[in-house]
Amino acid sequence: MSTSIDNKFAPFEERMRNENMPELAIQSFRYYYAQLVEGQTGFIRAADIEAVENIPDAESISEKTANIGQAALSSAVILKLNGGLGTSMGLEKAKSLLQIKGEYSFLDIIAQQALALDIPLVLMNSFATEEDSLAFLKKYPKLWESGIALSFLQHKVPKVKQSDLNPVTWTENPDLEWAPPGHGNIYSALVTSGMLDKLLESGFKYAFISNSDNLGAVIDTKILGHLVETQAPFLMEVAERTEMDVKGGFPVRHRDGKLLLWEIAQCPPEEKDIHQDIERFDYFNTNSIWINLVALKEEMQKKDNNLELPMIRNEKTVDPKKSDSTPVYSLETAQGAAISAFEGAQPVRILRNRFNPVKTTNELLAIRSDAYTLTSDYRIILNPERTLPRPIVTLDSRYYKLIKNLESRLPEGVPSLLNCRSLSIEGDIKFGKNVIFEGDVQLVNSSKDQVVIEDIVIADREWRI
């Protein structure tokens, strides 16, 4: 079988070498490609797992432990996953360059958070985001004075044709023949870039890793102190699941006792209802983790720099914008899946305010509104004047999915959502000045013509135009 795999893998290896991918990246992809050829799906079955019980609560961590975390700040770094382009919202540059609150972008706020704590900031960029992100951060010269490079590159791997498991070819846009191998690639990319060794040589022992589009993910000295005090190699932040989080992955315990991360893509189709049962599995992975870099180095050395994280076989089309383009597999791994690679790894329960991601224009509109505010220490939080939970915004994707379409319908800025519980917009509606929504509001424009709304307060009602 090994010879057969070598023969089938040869064209993938050739492509990766031509792109100057490091040897570790090539061998890691071979490891997952062999699983694909052997018929493995990466599925985790419900019968083999159970919910994780007795998860430590970050809010109950003592001030004594927080003081330990405070003392450890000088040994910590902030590491942001910054490879996304935000193509689903029509962006062509790094998503983190998108204006998110007032005049500030994601990267503005992240940079200010790092500077306020005097902690090095490191980005894991993709080939698509490296140049733009680093050029943007030149406006913060103090970030460049830490002696630690501001970024390292994520690897890229070929997409696999579903029909014959060969590399896909797409002459319309050859860049689409490649895919990032998931954020689980961070561990091998830290090694091949030399970043892991550089951090350790410079005296850094701990890293807080999170998505650049989650501005709720900030350094918390309580959790850092818990990492130090318990000598845990790995902590995963989890939050209480709601109906909005049914697609997110979450930690489970395998029948062999080991912790695993169960992603929706690892769920057999016939068991999706089980995966989405928020009563049975009531926490989800926020993709914010804390890791002991010394423990990571040791574990990587023991395993030839391949943590052998569970494979995620994502079924896609080579051009995500064209549903009739060639069906492909994208072989990926999840960062949080490393919870299975470390003895003593554990989840930690957090409050929901540490999870404020922006994946769609729904979340973008909410965070840009007065329902959220930017604190003096550069955290995005619910407005203290608000007495309601976070607002739920549902926008008609025909008119608001893309940033340019959203912003063209909000020339005077976002209407007030301070006292709005939920907002649903169906149809083409443009908003002018002095628009205030309160309670639960549903707007429906059934006509083909755009309607303009301004100088109005709409409270607790469905309004059909």
Q: Of the candidates 337, 354, 371, which is a domain's last residue?
A: 354
Supply the pLDDT for residue 436.
97
Same domain? For 256 and 110 the reply is yes
Same domain? For 337 and 374 the reply is no
Q: Which helix (H) or strand (E) holds 329?
A: strand 327-332
pLDDT tens-digit profile of 102-144? 899 999 999 999 999 999 999 999 998 999 999 999 999 999 9
Q: Which CATH number covers residue 299?
A: 3.90.550.10
The domain total for the chain is 2
Q: Is 359 a catalytic residue?
A: yes
Same domain? For 312 and 379 the reply is no
Same domain? For 174 and 191 the reply is yes
Q: Which CATH number covers residue 397?
A: 2.160.10.10
**Residue whose entry in the numeric block shows the structure tokens 């890791």:** 291
* pLDDT higher than 70, residue 259: yes
Same domain? For 205 and 336 the reply is yes
Instruction: Give the C-alpha separation, 50 to 336, whole Å.
Output: 17
Instruction: Give the C-alpha separation, 262 to 242, whole Å.
Output: 17
Largest CA distance in the chain: 72
Catalytic choice (8, 297, 359, 430): 359
Q: Of the candidates 288, 323, 354, which is a domain's last residue?
A: 354
Residue 68: both structure tokens together: 């330990």
Same domain? For 44 and 192 the reply is yes
Domain containing residue 452: 361-464
Residue 100: both structure tokens together: 């998110």
Same domain? For 140 and 164 the reply is yes
Q: Of the candidates 354, 389, 422, which is a domain's last residue?
A: 354
Same domain? For 371 and 325 the reply is no
Same domain? For 51 and 162 the reply is yes
Residue 313: beta bridge partners? 331
Instruction: Give the C-alpha separation, 219 to 223, whole Å.
Output: 8
Same domain? For 81 and 133 the reply is yes
pTM: 0.93
pLDDT tens-digit profile of 28-65? 999 999 999 999 888 999 999 999 989 999 999 999 99
Same domain? For 301 and 178 the reply is yes
What own/partner pairs with CB < 8 Å and gap ≥ 24 does 278-281 have?
A: 278/241, 278/242, 278/243, 278/245, 278/246, 280/51, 281/51, 281/241, 281/250, 281/252
pLDDT tens-digit profile of 350-390? 998 899 889 999 999 999 999 999 988 888 889 999 999 99
Same domain? For 182 and 46 the reply is yes
Residue 429: both structure tokens together: 């509606």
